[in-house]
Structure 1
Amino acid sequence: MTTRQTFTASDGQNIAYYIDDFTDPWTQPPVLVLLHSAMGNSQRFYSWVPALARHFRVVRMDLRGHGGSDIPPADMPLSMDRFVRDVEELMDTVGAKQAHIVANSAGGYLAQKLAIKAPERVLGLCVVGSTPGLSPSALDWLPLIEQEGLTPFLTRTIHMRFDLASTDPGMVRWFLEQTAENDPAYVVRFIGYMATQEWSAELPRIKAPTLVIYPGGETVGSANSYDTMRERIPDVTMIEYEHMPHNIADMMPDRCTSDILAFLSAKFGTSKV
């Protein structure tokens, strides 16, 4: 019921993905694509899959450079168009002309840009802790990551990501172990590139019903960006998780999936959710 596969993108890079399908065998469920955050991989959605895969054919992709996907060589420029094309080619691979796109943090950048570029392919759009571009202030992280190392840097700044008073210490340890599996040089490239991207002016082009779940105590970039999303996305529902820092998708998975399922059911009807 869960399978791991790969496909070769049109530029030759191998992209890993997982299909989780626990729907009734006699039904034809809609596809829901899950896109993870920077420095993560598809395993970060382990706590989301049980709720979502009962209603959808869930497809989790490892973004290029993450998890089981190829790390682009240093001489291959990073491109938002290429990241978005990976999602489209994944959808083509699994036979989905359309899908719900659900994404966390940097994965939400790809989700938003897909909804802007190819609105006909996106049924519902749900993003968690994802603004229209990574704040340029993230560039300040890069020399610190290079000086201290990725894991020491994340350990020192972990309070920016998790509410330590309410988060299981095991979750924090697991997060640090997961992020340590990344190639640090690629992390620096990825963050450096994303911090140059900003598309708030394009948000009115998003036609899909959109859910934005955001942390009220956002610590990665500016919380004002969520006000921009509220103002510019035509059909948007905003849900604030009050006082929480950035990593709400990790800290509050049951609440996230409950809100996502309720939103998709309200917008598309229970028969399609």
Structure 2
Amino acid sequence: MATAPLSGLQFHYYDDDFSDPWKPTSPILMIHGFARNGGFWRAWVPYLARNHRVIRIDQRGCGRSADPGPGYQYQIDDLAGDAVALLDVLGIDRISLIGESSGGVISAWIAAHYPHRVSTLILVSTPLRLKGHNNEVKSAGYSGAQQAIAALGMKEYWLQSRGRGGQLTGDRSRDEYFASLFAMTPPHIGQAFWELINASGVDIEPLLPKIAARTLLLSPGASFGTTEADQQKIVDLVPNAKRIRFPDLTHEMYYVAPDRLAPEVAAFLDSE
């Protein structure tokens, strides 16, 4: 674990590399989704770090990264800019990007705006647009997700919303672990992320034809954040894209089934 000053805040990131020092390797940056943190990617590291340097950022306000404070308004370009700034601090010119859910939206935004910085793009359960996903599952039985977070707190919100969406693993200890990871992010940050989702209308469709990176899309069979039609549109619009479907898995498959997803990503990265 390490920290770096970015955009006036102290950012936390994980940095793992078990590759052979005498061999050239390409680094990876992993970007988590809504209000989570780099710890959610933990089970992927053994598959990726043998041949790559693997960096997992905690986005601003999330995990162990500094809290920008109550009232902060998230913007997609700020979140993307933080990731690019970390690459600059680490002296990394070109990266393989892996993003899940809203982290995939951020990753696609980076790949479109900084094509010279991204060699490979991996999108996991990535929606075409953010607005409109404050649905019954995400609201956990309340009038909205922000109200649910205020009433339940982050840990219980994770358990109830994921339970409604069929996103829990079925292993109580494992589910408690990930709920506790999620609870590292303060409630006002979770609410601020929802404000971004509800108000911004972030739409990556116009950006997709601009992505030059070799791209792999991992699509769930059922999702509260994306649709089959949108997944197909992403792979159709990105010039050099491949898609792998997981029809029996749901939106949160990146942490529910890492032993199925991570080997596919490792094989794709190592096929360059």
TM-score by length of 1: 0.89
Q: Which residue of 2 aligns with 1:8?
A: 5
Q: 2:27 aligns with which of 25, 31, 42?
A: 31
Q: Which residue of 1 aligns with 2:138?
A: none
Mapped partners of 1:179, 1:141: distance in 2: 15
- Per-residue CA deviation, residues 127-170 of structure 1 (Å, 9 max, x unaligned), is 11112332423273222322343333332232355455x64332
| Contact 1:167-1:251 within 8 A present in 2 as well | no
| Contact 2:35-2:189 within 8 A present in 1 as well | no
Mapped partners of 1:86, 1:163: distance in 2: 29
Stretches of structure 2 lacking an aligned partner (at least 5 in a row): 136-143
Q: 1:255 to 1:149 in 2, by over 3 A?
A: same
Q: RMSD value over aligned CA atoms?
A: 1.9
TM-score by length of 2: 0.89
Greater Cα shift, 113-122 or 131-140: 131-140
Q: 1:145 to 1:34 in 2, by over 3 A?
A: same
- Per-residue CA deviation, residues 43-63 of structure 1 (Å, 9 max, x unaligned), is 111111111000101111111
Q: Does 1:52 align with 2:55?
A: no
Q: 1:51 to 1:161 in 2, by over 3 A?
A: farther
Q: Does 1:216 align with 2:221?
A: yes
Q: Which residue of 1 aligns with 2:189?
A: 186
Q: 2:123 aligns with which of 124, 127, 136?
A: 127
Q: Using the TM superposition, give the Cα deviation of residue 73 of structure 1 relative to its aligned residue in structure 2, in angstroms.
A: 2.4
| Contact 2:12-2:65 within 8 A present in 1 as well | yes
Report matched runs for 1:1-273 at 5 Å.
4-9=1-6, 11-138=7-134, 140-162=144-166, 167-195=170-198, 196=200, 197-266=202-271, 268=272
Mapped partners of 1:5, 1:156: distance in 2: 32
| Contact 1:161-1:247 within 8 A present in 2 as well | no
SS in 2 for 1:136: coil
Percent pairwise identity: 26
Q: 1:167 to 1:186 in 2, by over 3 A?
A: same
SS in 1 for 2:51: coil
SS in 1 for 2:216: strand
Q: 1:162 to 1:27 in 2, by over 3 A?
A: farther
| Contact 2:16-2:54 within 8 A present in 1 as well | yes
Q: Using the TM superposition, give the Cα deviation of residue 42 of structure 1 relative to its aligned residue in structure 2, in angstroms.
A: 1.3
Alignment-mate amino acid for residue 51 of structure 1? Y
**Matched residue count:** 262
Mapped partners of 1:148, 1:174: distance in 2: 17
Mapped partners of 1:215, 1:127: distance in 2: 11
Alignment-mate amino acid for residue 34 of structure 1? M
Q: Using the TM superposition, give the Cα deviation of residue 33 of structure 1 relative to its aligned residue in structure 2, in angstroms.
A: 0.7
